[in-house]
Every structure is written in structure tokens, then in C-alpha cells.
Amino acid sequence: MINSVGREIPDEVLQELTDSYGRKVEGFNGAYYRHNKTYKKAAPTVRGVVDPSEDKLLPSIKAALEKCEIKDGMTISFHHHFREGDYVVNMVMEEIHKMGIKNLTICASSLGKAHDPIVPMIEDGTITGIQSSGVRGKIGEAISNGKLKTTAIMRSHGGRVRAIEEGDVHIDIAFIGAPTCDSYGNMRAVGGKSDCGVLSYAMVDAQYADKVVAITDTLVPFPNQPASISQVDVDYVVVVDEIGNAAKIATGAAKPTKDLRNLMMANYCTQFVINTPYFKDGFSYQTGVGGPSIASTLYLGEIMRERGIKMGLGLGGIAGPMADLLKEGLIEKLVDTQDFDLTAIESVRNNPNHFEISGSEYANPMNKGAYVNRLDFVILAALEVDTHFNVNVVVGSDGVITGAQGGHPDTAAGAKCTIIISPLIRGRIPCVCSDVTTVTTPGETVDVVITDYGIAINPKRKDLIECMKDVKLPFCTIEELRDQAYAIVGEPEKVQFGDRVVGAIESRDGTIIDVVRQVKEYEFAD
Amino acid sequence: MINSVGREIPDEVLQELTDSYGRKVEGFNGAYYRHNKTYKKAAPTVRGVVDPSEDKLLPSIKAALEKCEIKDGMTISFHHHFREGDYVVNMVMEEIHKMGIKNLTICASSLGKAHDPIVPMIEDGTITGIQSSGVRGKIGEAISNGKLKTTAIMRSHGGRVRAIEEGDVHIDIAFIGAPTCDSYGNMRAVGGKSDCGVLSYAMVDAQYADKVVAITDTLVPFPNQPASISQVDVDYVVVVDEIGNAAKIATGAAKPTKDLRNLMMANYCTQFVINTPYFKDGFSYQTGVGGPSIASTLYLGEIMRERGIKMGLGLGGIAGPMADLLKEGLIEKLVDTQDFDLTAIESVRNNPNHFEISGSEYANPMNKGAYVNRLDFVILAALEVDTHFNVNVVVGSDGVITGAQGGHPDTAAGAKCTIIISPLIRGRIPCVCSDVTTVTTPGETVDVVITDYGIAINPKRKDLIECMKDVKLPFCTIEELRDQAYAIVGEPEKVQFGDRVVGAIESRDGTIIDVVRQVKEYEFAD
């Protein structure tokens, strides 16, 4: 079928997912298509611990795998709060591999280069399914080269929670790396040797997995309160030497960019924001961690100071500049699902107005109302954006899976004003094009595209166009941006894909917005 | 059948509950009988709010009832954190009554005298089912007099969470009174006009009810963080003038008792506690709010100060003396499910080592491990205790339902040392007797009974008997206590009950430990 963003979704793929999920999976049909739909939530099968003398501490990951009765065909899960410093995935997979277990599905909140070591386990059939926000590094290459037995599923952060809560995926065993944990399973993200700030994306795993194993390198006295994940959802606790590489989990505060192109785009963005009606005392805002986003936060801070306007809510993955604005009192409350640097981690540990929320609270489209629904602004990046305002953040222009949806489609769907900042050209690749390689965020949820060559407002946002009519910014159409990009670097030839679908890009609501096909060697046209 | 505490549970009652719960309900078979049993958790049917423009604020309770499509036969729920100052139950029931809805089951964490006004709705068939921790006041009388159409079900705090999570009861609509709430449904228990400290017992309602309505008298700016109950579980928000009578929700700090009998029992209790091996740095402790319990906390504080011993964890319903020990630094962490006075409420609002937990975390026997499992000591009261150490806290010696299980059976089952403090005689009624009127906490989980006439240790606790062999306290057997009571006031005649079972006392694990029969007019023996 052809879905509502014009992408062909093969019926076999929809059928494969329908069989796997146990509900009819459809092609994408608009960002708000499933609004108001009711469904019965999924639920885990758990074991009651009535006997108070029972202990949860186990001597090793192997012992936990045995206690959890791991077997072929199970689905296991991980979180990615340790980012490129994560040791947990590899540590657990190594033990599983030694046990000779096959046919596992990994359901991770994200996978990155830190997990390159599991590629051989994809090749030998230990891992036959991958569900993740995205996959960077060698795992992405392996999937794009057709090495994974089943179709990889890429979901947004909100979409992953939805999939688990709706029962599309049932987690048999969740392995949750915890910076600190007590012997009865109460986990916190602050403290210890591998401080990651929050455990937001792992909360749904704890609530919906049959078995939950806490893995920590810092056992603390009971009770480890306030717990991010509670003992009542945890079966076993394992203490290991190190769950992560602290240096790669959190870097120092992000340095402001000095790149003039980035500063220019950041300035455009701030000028745009402050000329909308949403920029007023108490506004809500989310931004990414790229150079232009961070510069834009700094510019915005200056204007807030000048005009005495405070942000009511700062949301999302948090980096230093947002934490600094909170500290200064320019933000009332920061509500956090992921921390990108030491400043943010220190803030969530110490600032009483900086709060951890769950991934469901953040972005699940099928709960009773997520935080993204309350956003005025979100500032996002893109690998590619096209003349339909569709955005691609997962597949490189070479056709290889190399990025992650993250909260991109969630915040875009929720925010009143969704702004994409992207250079017009990256390397020799046009970032504004006629059709993105892969659609990951639908154009109907994207309001503005800011590039170093000009700014395009989505024509459906007549209200924003009206607001900007006297604003001195280089407005143009999205087609003009594309034409300019093509004029500079030429229109790139289409990536050549094979026939096999290797990945499904799932929209946050569980419909399929696009597929990723196996890459093939480039063949010159006759 | 005769269950393991020797009570006859009519097969019809077990069958009625089996039909209602959808699982085979058995008679009580030992406090740890269901340890290690697995089950699939229940789940609500919810509505996805994908559209960010949707609002949750409704103008009235009536509007919320209509939006929730209330109809005959539904189960609705309430919490009791406002205690005798609660307005929410009556307010909601009045609207429902006006709408002419019939055949409702009320599943409340507890009901008290504040809810006397709903008795006519029991009589006219609006309410035909009641599930509660207990029922004081006129509702208890109505049930005991056979006015409720179905068997009332009395559960402990942990047992209620278990019942909801295991699917014995499915809540169609939960009405949650919230001292503060924002327009998107984030509720907190501190702040506002009807500050109740924590919302612990309502958390399970929010997670397992199909529809959730927040009722508040203090609407606050979004986001109301840190939320006790999250927006993602809330459908609608209604603002009313007053949700409670602040003066009856929280009283001033409990005054230390001056009653010499109470002081003596408190002193016995403290002496007992400090002579067990569990009294050491980091011990965990829960106590009630009766005069002897509070005096005992004060005595214990003195000894902790003298010996430099700190409590690691104070648990449970919290009153001023525990909050004071926390403030003084004699307790490391207070973990709280209910607040009994202003001192406790102020403490949970301001003291960073005073934490709110859910009812499941507190006491649910069928999750992966509740806080009660980590208790060293619990100090409890009783209406009656018998020579099998069985305790009754629900039914008065006149046979009328007049109390609540609360956390009594939960903490008794969890704690290493469960101490009952009770005067030997109350009025002209012996509190130690041959057989309690109704068993609510099984004797196997009760270790010590402290009275003003002597102290009996459960013979199965040979270890505690050994510990106390050189301790100068008035030890005796439980039979000696009973005999002494009977010697003073005479052995009371058995209460005369009718045949109809009006209430089931459900053990925390969902088995039936006893039943309550309809009272009948006293008839003199020939």
C-alpha cells in the first residue's frame, strides 16, 4: 500500500508486523489518526514475593540469566542512558552468547557504536530481531546489509513506550543498568560511578517485562530513595565491576559553537521564536544538543533576560545550557528524560526544580496525554528534509541506517511550533531535497525549516506566515531552498537499494511510515 | 470449608467471590501460601490522547460522570487520605444518585464516619457492593445489619493493591481527590487547602482504572511536579470549592499520652525491642498512632540517643513523633504512605529524607517485594487478640463492623518482630480471649502481645523467648493473660450472629481468612 506520506509499504511487511504484534498494523495515515482510540494495555506475568526472607542479590549475570530461565526466542531489553559509555548490553550479551541461546530479539531504547561487539551475534543467529530508536555504527551497517534475520523496527522514544504498553512487543527479561541500586532493587540514576542523571527510558521496561534484572556497580544501603525504578518491579540484583565508562556517559558541558554558519542559523531560530505568539511568560520549550540548538538556547536566554520573560517548562533530553537557564531562574521547571552532559546531571541531582519523568510521560502518544502535547516550541535537527517538510533522521544519504528517531517525531507532533535547523548542504550532500531517503517525521508536524540560506515556513501554517510578515528574516519557499541546494552541489542520484526490506520505520502511533531496504553496491547508469 | 485458622468459610461465599474475581478463591491457608505464585497482571482499557489540543478540564463532577459514561453496575473507587475530613466520596455519590445510577460497587481504600451520608444509597440500591479496608460509622452498621445487597469485602492496604493488580476487582472510574492538580492531571498531596501529605493509596487506582478523574480545589500551573499521580493516567480534571475539611484531615501533632497504663505498656514495648538482636544501627521500624505506640516511639528515641543507634528506615502511616526523630537525625529515611498529623505533613513537604511511596510498594504481597518485607519491627494495636495470637481489628466485640485492616496484616506478615500492644481489658471487654470474634491478622505472623498485665511471646518464636530469658519484664503465657482477663471481667458470652454472611475478611494474598455475619438482636439463653 501507499501510505499518507506517499511511501510504499509492502503488504508482506504489514503482515509480518501484524502477526508479530497481534493487532492489525496499518500504513501511516496522518499524525493524529489514532487519536481517541481505546485499547487494553498489556501486562507482565510476575511472581509474588510474599516471603520476607527472600533475597534478590545474585552473584553474577549468568546466575540472573539462569534464574530468569532465559531461552531461545525470548525478547530482552536494555536502555541507552549510558550512551556511548554503556557496558551493560555487551556484558549481558556475552554471557547469553556463551550459553548458546539463539533467536533473541533485542528491544533497546537505542543502540550505538558502543554495541559494535554484538554484530557477530547477529551474524551467528544469537540475535535475530532488533527493535530500537535507531542504530548507529556497525549494527546499522549490519542491518542495512541484510544480516539481521527479521525486519528491524525503529521507533521513536514515545513510540517504543506505546509499543510496549500496547503489547506490540512483550519483554521477557529487562536488564537495567543502574548507577546505584540497593539489595532489594531500588534503582537511581544519580550517584555511583556511572552517573547518568535519569532512568526515564527504562521505566516502561521495569513495568512491563516479566522479569527485571538490575545491574549496578554501586550497591547502596536500603532504601535507595527516591527510586527511579522501584523494588516492586525488580526480580534480581547483580553487582558488577563497572556498568559504563563514565567519560563517555557524560561529557563536560557542551561548548558553545563558534561556527559562523551555526551562529547565523541559531540567530534566525531565536528571531523566529520570539516573533511567534507562543513566546510569552510561561512558554514551554525543547531543544536538541547540536551546535545551532545550543547557540539558539543561549541567544534566547539573552532575550528572556532583556524582556523579563520566563520559560515555564523546559522539556526533554537536557544539556548544560538549559540547566544553566534553570539555575539562573529563567526556567521555572525542567522536566527531563535524558542527560547529555555533566552540567545536566549535576542539575538533576541538585536542583529542586529539575525533575525526572518516564518515557511514557515524555512522549507516549497513546497514554492519556504526554508532556510533548504541552510544548510550545521544539527545535530539532535533521539529516534531510524535503519539499513536503518530511524529515529523515535515521538513514544516511548513502542509504545506511545511521541515526535514531529519538523524540523527534514525538515532539514534532506535540509542539505548537516545530522548527528544524539544518545547514542547506552538509559535505557535498543537499540537506533539503525533493524527497527524503526515508521519512521518519511527517511533514504535517513540521512548521519551519531554518537553513543557512533561508527559512521556509510550512504553507499550512498560514498563522505563522502572517506573524512573520514584517519580520526581517530571509524567508523563502521550501522549493527555493531545495533548488538552491541542487544548484550548488547538483541533484544527487537516488541511492540504489535492493528489494529486501531490512527495517521498518514505525510511526509513534504504531503505523508504518516508511521502510528501509537493503543497500546494494552502486551501479553506474548505462 | 474450615481454613487454616480454624474459621468456617461457607462454600457459597468462596463461590460468589470466585465468580466475581474470575479466579479460584480459596480459604486462608497460611500467611505465605502464595509465595512464588505467578500471575498475569490486570490492565485497564484506556484512550490515547494523540491530539495535543485536547483539554482535560471539565466544569463539574456531573460533566465528568457523563464523559466517563457512568452506568449501572460499574465499580468506582476512592482513596481515604483525607480521612474524616473527606468531601469527595459524598460529593461524587450525590451526583451519581441524582443521575439515578444503580448497582454500583464502591472500591475504596477505606471508608469512615465522614461517609455516613451514603447509607441511604446502600438502602435504595445505588450502592450494592462495598470493598474497603474497613468501614467505620453508620456504613459498618448498615453492612452488619444486612442492608448491603452483596458481601462486603474487607482488604488490607496491601491486599487492596493486590486485588486490583491481580484483576479481582476492575475499577471502571477512579475519583481521586488531589490537594493540588494542574490542568493536565498531575496531582500532588502537598499544597493547597486540603493538604494530606501523600496520595499513596490512590496510585494503584490511577494505574488500573479505565477512567480517572482528578478532583481538586487548588488548580496550579502546569507542570505540577513532582507529581504523585501523573497526567498520563488521568482523563479529566474537575475543580470544586472544597475537597475536604482541613481541620479533620490533619490534626495538630499527637500529644504524648499521660495515661499510666499506656506509659507502662509503651515502656514494656521499648524494653522488648531493645533486647532483640534486630535493635542495632540501621534497623527498620513501623508503629501506629495510638497512645502506647506514640509513647513507645518517644521512649525508643531516648535509648537511640543514649546508645548512638540510628533507625535506617521508618515506614508506614506517619505521625509526628516519627517525623521528629527524622528531623533530629535519629532516622535516616522515612518512607510514607499516609500522614496522620500536621507534623507529618510538614515533614513530607520539607524534609528531603521523607519519601512518598505507593500502596503497592508499601504492602502488596504479590509484587516482587514490598517494603513491609524489610521491616524489623512493627508495633500494632488490636481490638482483640486470642490464645492463638490471632488478632481482630475490624469487628467490635458486639459483632458490628467498626474498624479497618489497614496495614495490620501486611506489616505483621513482613516484620521480623511483630508486637501487639493492647490493654488486657477495654471497658468491660477482655481484649485477650480464647477466640477473637473475627480473625483479621493470623497468629502465625504475631510474635509478641504486650498488655498492662503481662507480656506473652508466641511459643513458635523460641529465638525471642531465648533472647528475653534474662530480661526483667512480666512475661507469661497468652493463656495466662486470657485467664486473668476473664478472672477480672468474666468470660463474655459469644456474640449472637444470624446466618447471612455480610462481609468477607480477605487475607492480603486474596484467600479468605474469615467472614462476618449479620448481627441479630441479643437473645437470652433459656
Q: How far apart are the two ends of chain A, measured CA to CA in Å?
A: 31
B50 vs A contacts (CB less than 8 Å): 31-36, 365-366, 413, 509
For position A505, which CATH number holds?
A: 3.40.1080.10
Please report the residues numbered 355 through 394 in chain B whose beta carbons come closer than 8 angstroms to any beta carbon of chain A. Answer: 355, 357-358, 360-361, 364-375
- Residue B302 falls within a domain, yes or no? yes
Q: Does B226 touch chain A (CB under 8 A)?
A: yes
Most distant CA pair in chain A: distance in Å? 75
In 3D space, the residue among B110, B97, B175 whose CA is nearest the CA of residue B393 turns out to be B110
- Residue A46 falls within a domain, yes or no? no
Counting the structural domains of chain A, the total is 2
- Residue B25 falls within a domain, yes or no? no
Q: Mutating which of A368, A410, A509 best tests the B interface, going by the most B Cβ atoms within 10 A?
A: A368
A201 and A293 in a single domain? The answer is no
Do A369 and B31 make contact, defined as CB atoms within 8 angstroms? no
**pTM attached to this predicted model:** 0.97
A507 and A478 in a single domain? The answer is no
What is the distance in angstroms between the Cα of B116 and the nearest Cα belonging to chain A? Answer: 34
How far is residue B145 from each of residues A514, B21, B253, B516, measured CA to CA in Å?
A: 65, 25, 36, 11
State the virtual CA torsion across B147, B149, B155, B157 in degrees, nearest 10. -80
Please report the residues numbered 403 through 442 in chain A whose beta carbons come closer than 8 angstroms to any beta carbon of chain B. Answer: 413-416
Tell me how crowded residue B494 is: count the other CB atoms within 10 A of its CB: 9
Q: What is the pLDDT of residue B525?
A: 60
- Residue B254 falls within a domain, yes or no? no
A239 and A278 in a single domain? The answer is no
CB-CB contact of B361 with B370 (8 Å): yes
- Residue A41 falls within a domain, yes or no? no
Q: What is the pLDDT of residue B154?
A: 98
A383 and A507 in a single domain? The answer is no
Of B38, B232, B355, the CB nearest to A367: B232
**What one-character DSSP code corresponds to residue A41?**
P
Q: Does A190 touch chain B (CB under 8 A)?
A: no
**Cross-strand pairs, B471:** none
Tell me how crowded residue B348 is: count the other CB atoms within 10 A of its CB: 22
Q: What is the pLDDT of residue A389?
A: 98
In which domain, by residue range, is A133 found? 56-249+498-522
| Distance between CA atoms of residues B484 and B479, nearest Å | 8
Most distant CA pair in chain B: distance in Å? 75
Give the mean pLDDT per block of 10 residues along chain A (526 residues).
98 97 98 98 98 98 98 98 96 98 98 97 98 94 97 98 98 98 98 95 98 98 97 98 91 78 96 98 93 92 98 96 97 97 95 98 98 98 97 94 96 98 95 97 98 98 97 98 97 91 98 96 63
**What one-character DSSP code corresponds to residue A220?**
-
Do A333 and B223 make contact, defined as CB atoms within 8 angstroms? yes
| Distance between CA atoms of residues B502 and B489, nearest Å | 30
What is the distance in angstroms between the Cα of B448 and the nearest Cα belonging to chain A? Answer: 18
One digit per residue, the tens of pLDDT, for chain B of length 526 reads: 999 999 999 999 999 999 999 999 999 999 999 999 999 999 999 999 999 999 999 999 999 999 999 999 999 999 999 999 999 999 999 999 999 999 999 999 999 999 999 999 999 999 999 999 989 899 999 999 999 999 999 999 999 999 999 999 999 999 999 999 999 999 999 999 999 999 999 999 999 999 999 999 999 999 999 999 999 999 999 999 999 998 898 877 667 788 999 999 999 999 999 999 999 999 999 998 888 988 999 999 999 999 999 999 999 999 999 999 999 999 999 999 999 999 999 999 999 999 999 999 999 999 999 999 999 999 999 999 999 999 999 999 899 999 999 999 999 999 999 999 999 999 999 999 999 999 999 999 999 999 999 999 999 999 999 999 999 999 999 999 999 999 999 998 888 899 999 999 999 999 999 999 999 876 666 5
Cis amide prior to B223 (ω within 30 degrees): yes
How far is residue B54 from each of residues A32, A444, B235, B418, measured CA to CA in Å?
A: 12, 18, 11, 51
A163 and A271 in a single domain? The answer is no
| Distance between CA atoms of residues B515 and B146, nearest Å | 13
Do B374 and A233 make contact, defined as CB atoms within 8 angstroms? no
A86 and A195 in a single domain? The answer is yes
In terms of residues, how long is chain B? 526
B311 vs A contacts (CB less than 8 Å): none
Q: What is the pLDDT of residue A209?
A: 98
A114 and A208 in a single domain? The answer is yes
Concatenated DSSP letters of A287-325: E-SSHHHHHHHHHHHHHHHHHT--EEEEEEEE-HHHHHH
B406 and B505 in a single domain? The answer is no
| Distance between CA atoms of residues A120 and A126, nearest Å | 9
A188 and A225 in a single domain? The answer is yes
What is the distance in angstroms between the Cα of A30 and the nearest Cα belonging to chain B? Answer: 11
In 3D space, the residue among A412, A405, A415 whose CA is nearest the CA of residue A440 turns out to be A405
- Residue A370 falls within a domain, yes or no? yes
Q: What is the pLDDT of residue B412?
A: 98
B150 and B191 in a single domain? The answer is yes
Reading the block at residue B77, the C-alpha cell is 473507587
Reading the block at residue B264, the C-alpha cell is 507502662
| Distance between CA atoms of residues A361 and A28, nearest Å | 23
How far is residue A319 from each of residues A109, A267, A297, A339, A340, measured CA to CA in Å?
A: 19, 19, 10, 6, 5
| Distance between CA atoms of residues B258 and B262, nearest Å | 8
Of B41, B235, B374, the CB nearest to A368: B235
| Chain center to CA of A123 | 26
| Residue type present at position B430 | P
Coil, helix or strand at residue B352: coil
- Closest-approach residue (CA) in chain B for A359: B232
Q: What is the pLDDT of residue B289?
A: 82
Q: pLDDT digits over B365-374, tens only? A: 999 999 999 9
- Residue B22 falls within a domain, yes or no? no
| Distance between CA atoms of residues A196 and A173, nearest Å | 22
Q: What is the pLDDT of residue B436?
A: 97
Do A223 and B372 make contact, defined as CB atoms within 8 angstroms? no
Do A413 and B49 make contact, defined as CB atoms within 8 angstroms? no
List, in sequence order, every beta strand (DSSP E) within A194-249.
211-216, 236-239
How far is residue A306 from each of residues A269, A276, A301, A309, A330, measured CA to CA in Å?
A: 17, 17, 9, 8, 11
Reading the block at residue A398, the C-alpha cell is 548513502
Phi, psi of B324 (to 5 degrees): -65, -40
- Closest-approach residue (CA) in chain A for B53: A373
ipTM surpasses cut 0.85:
yes
Query: Position of cell 470449608?
Result: B1
Tell me how crowded residue A117 is: count the other CB atoms within 10 A of its CB: 13
A265 and A134 in a single domain? The answer is no
A218 and A287 in a single domain? The answer is no
B372 vs A contacts (CB less than 8 Å): 52
How far is residue A183 from each of residues A193, B53, B480, measured CA to CA in Å?
A: 17, 44, 42
Angle between helices A291-307 and A260-274 (to 10 degrees): 40
- Residue B109 falls within a domain, yes or no? yes
Residue B456 φ/ψ region, left for φ over 0, alpha for ψ in the -120 to 50 degree band, beta for the rest: beta
Q: Does A42 touch chain B (CB under 8 A)?
A: yes
Q: What is the pLDDT of residue B254?
A: 66
Q: Is A309 exposed, middle or buried (0-12, 13-18, 19+ CB in 10 A)?
A: middle
Reading the block at residue B219, the C-alpha cell is 488548580
